Amino acid sequence: MARRECLLLLVLSATLFSFGASCSNGECRLLDECSSDSDCVAGLYCFSCPQGFSGSRCVRSTITDQFKLWNNSLPFNKYAFLTTHNAYAIDGEPPHTPVPRVTVTNQEDTVTQQLNNGVRGLMLDTYDFEGDVWLCHSFKGQCYDFTAFEPAIDTLKEIEAFLSANPAEIVTLILEDYVQAPNGLTKVFTDAGLMKYWFPVSNMPKNGQDWPLVSDMVANNQRLLVFTSILSKEQSEGIAYQWNYMVENQCCVHACKWRIN
Ligand SMILES: *[C@@H]1O[C@H](CO)[C@@H](O)[C@H](O)[C@H]1NC(C)=O
C-alpha cells in the first residue's frame, strides 16, 4: 500500500513537472515558467519575484526603446520611462561605514546597469551625513552608519558618466530629500559635474502644459531633471519641488498581481 502511494506520488509529480516545463531551450515567452535563462527567448531572462508571481518566469531584461519605435520629436511628457524605487539600495553594495548595513535593499543592478538597461528615472533618498550628502535607506530623516549606502557623489558620478556617454538620453531624479545643509545638494551636483546638464526650473511647465520637445531638450543639452520633496528648495536652490510638476497614480503589487494572474 505504502509503495503504491509512493508510485502515485511519482506519477503525479512527473505530470506536474511536465506541465511546469511546457517550454525550454529558448522558447519560453514573457511570464512563462522557466528554470534557467537559456529557457527564455532573446531579451528575456529567468527570474523569481515572490511579490509579483509564483515560481520562476521569463521577464524582460531591457526596455523597448520608444525613440526607435517613434522618434524624439514629441513633448517630454508624451513618453513613459522606467523608474527604479530606491535605485541606490542595491544588493551587495560594499559597506562605506565601519558597521554592517542593517536595512532593506530594493535593486540588484548597479545604477550604471540600471541606466544601461533602460531605466531613465531614479528615486534617491538624500541625507546629511558625515558632513556630506549620502544616500541612505533610513528613518525619521536621519542617516546612521547602519542605514547608509554610499556618498551621493559616487552615484551622481555614475549618472554623469551615462549622460556624457549617451548624448541623446534624458535622466530624471526624484529625491526624497532630507538634506538641510544650505546648498548641500547644489554643491554635490556641482562636484559631480552634473550642472552642465541641468534642466532649469524656469523652463518647466506648470498647470499641466506640455513639456519642451525631447529633441529640443537634447539639442540644448538640458538632459537632467531633478525634483526634490522639499518645497523651499525651489526658491532657495532652483531645484524643482516635485509636487509642482508631478502627479502620482495608485499602483500596488496587488493590482499588478491581479493583471499577471
Ligand atoms: C517623427 O515621426 C513622425 C511620425 O512618423 C513624423 O511625422 C515626424 O516628421 C518625425 N519627426 C522627425 C523630426 O523626424
Ligand 1 residue neighbourhood (C-beta within 6 Å): 70-71, 73
Spacing, Cα 219 to ligand 1 middle (Å): 16
Q: How confident is the model at residue 252 (pLDDT cuts 50, 70, 90)?
A: low
Across the chain, mean pLDDT equals: 88
Q: At what angle do helices 184-191 and 152-165 cross, to 10 degrees?
A: 50
Spacing, Cα 223 to ligand 1 middle (Å): 21
- Predicted local distance difference test score (pLDDT) of residue 21: 57
Task: Answer yes or no: is pLDDT of 1 > 50.
Answer: no
pTM for this model (two decimals): 0.84
Spacing, Cα 65 to ligand 1 middle (Å): 16
List 225's β-bridge partners, or say none: 172
Q: Which of 68, 69, 73 to mutate to test the pocket of ligand 1 (most atoms within 8 A of CB)?
A: 73
Spacing, Cα 74 to ligand 1 middle (Å): 9
Instruction: Give me the architecture of the 66-260 domain, per CATH.
Output: Alpha-Beta Barrel (3.20)
Domain boundaries, the chain: 6-60, 66-260
Q: Cell 543639452, residue?
A: 221
Q: Residues 80, 194, 212, 229: is their CA dihedral positive or negative?
A: positive
Q: How far apart are the first and last CA of the chain?
A: 38
Alpha-carbon distance values, 180 to 28, 56, 103, 187, 233 (Å): 50, 44, 23, 13, 10
